[in-house]
Amino acid sequence: MSILTAQQLEENEEYEKAYEEYKTVLSQKPENTEVLERLGHLSIILKKENEAIEYYTKLLELNPTNELAFEQLMDLYVNTDKYKYYVSRGNWHILKQEYSHALNDFKKALNKAQTPEENSATRFILATLYEKNGKYNNAIDEYLRILDTKAANETVFLKLANVYLQEGAVTSAIETLERAIEDGFESKEIKETLAKLYLSNNQQEKSRQVTENELLKIKSYLDEGDDEQAWALLEQIKGDYKKDPQYHILTAQYYYNKEDWDKSLECVEEVAKFGKNPAVVCQMKAMIYEGKNMDFEAHRMWAKYNIIRGNKDVALNEYYLALKEKDNDAEMLRELAELLDDMGDKVQAGEFWEAIVKLDAGDKKALERLAEFKESIGAYREQVDILMQLYELNKKNRSVIRKLAEGFEKLRDREKALEYYKKFLENSLMDNEYEKIKQKVKSLEGASSKASAPEEEDEGLIGKIIKLFAKK
């Protein structure tokens, strides 16, 4: 018994025998998706619609993104079960990320639902689709309707709370999770989510009453201004949490509250070692530097923080504020130039790459970017001058040598172009690029010969005329 035997029978159009053969194979390999797909197909041929539905449904359990299974189920249900037809079509549209079409399908499915279970399941999918389409009020309505039925469950409460947060309604999110606990849904996820919401809403005491998380309790004390209680807990759990970056964040917050800036900064450096919270690290450093009246460092850190958060315009403003405090810090100038490049302001970025080169003539990256900028604005002489600086730093850099040759060519300096194309060949392997440059050299040498030919002819003609008059 094998798949090959079944396939052969199917090719011979012995569908009943092939069907039985595939069933035997499936009994041995119940999660074989290829066999399930063939059984579904043969069931349709043999008019075994119920079996086909069973096989395609099982196939989707194993492979939820199988388009064929959804398409076949749609065909199987279209005349027999409108609810399941619209559900299958809706899922098919979700698979194709056509959410507005899926939304319409599930609305139709809701009208065809026959049982409370079908009604609630459909409303849940509708709610999630409303979320994807940014229709939060509609999503809230659907979740609330589910919560008014026996189908209410922990997931619905959490989803509803999250939608309220999307709308900025923290109080409503809190009330939703409070209701969940009142209704008997007291899982750890519900409680800890509620505790965090209490904390974000300045309800520190309530947060402590709900949470079992020691770090969250410490944060609640720090936010409340009870530094001594927070420190006592920090010392108590130090042994168990010293490898947790959140512990060091809270320790930094404690020292920050105490205005012990240096110790707070030390703790932030410990957080940075974990490499997991770059935005938090930049934010805390910025706040500490503000406390130390180090305006340049503070603005620079706020700039980095906003870059991580995707607020490029805010970051740019912070860099300009830092620039007013100190205009000769090469690293800050580099960060600013890179940000401007990223924002598409090549001209402004070019000015800062140039400023970096003035501070350090050996900065290869700044020289490279400045050369690229000069080329982009057609300033080829300046580009070549900068490339010569790069060449002096590394006379075997093939990329620089080639760009130099190309730059001289744009300046119509054939002699120099040939010189550097030949240097490129001296430093290259015999690959496709080598052959291209070799042809380029031949072309330039040929052009040079042709350019000098008229001069030779002119000189020869003049000579002949002189001789002619000399004879007279």
Q: How far apart are CA 333 and CA 353, in angstroms?
A: 8
What pLDDT score does 463 carry? 41
Side-chain half-sphere CA neighbours of 417 within 13 A = 21
What is the band of 262 on the pLDDT scale with cuts at 50, 70, 90? very high
Query: Cα-Cα-Cα-Cα dihedral of 436, 437, 440, 445, to 10°?
Result: -140
Domains of the chain: 1-80 (1.25.40.10), 394-472 (1.25.40)
Alpha-carbon 436 to chain mean position: 38
3-state secondary structure of 431: coil
- Note whether 421 and 441 are within 8 A (CB): yes
Residue 39 to residue 32: CA distance in whole angstroms: 11
- The per-residue pLDDT for 439 is 77
Split at pLDDT 50, 70, 90, the class of 409 is: confident
Q: Note the pLDDT of residue 276.
A: 85
Residue 242 corresponds to which tokens in the numbers above? 């010293």
For residue range 311-370, list pLDDT tens digits in order. Answer: 999 999 999 999 999 999 999 999 999 999 999 999 999 999 999 999 999 999 999 999
Span 423-446, average pLDDT: 76
pTM of the model: 0.75
User: Residue 466 — pLDDT band, cuts 50, 70, 90?
Assistant: very low
Predicted local confidence at residue 451, as pLDDT: 52
- Show the DSSP H helices in 183-226 as ranges: 188-200, 204-210, 214-224
DSSP, res 328:
-
What pLDDT, on the 0 to 100 scale, is given for residue 458?
Answer: 39
- Residue 235 falls in which region: left (phi positive, over 0), alpha (psi -120 to 50) or beta: alpha
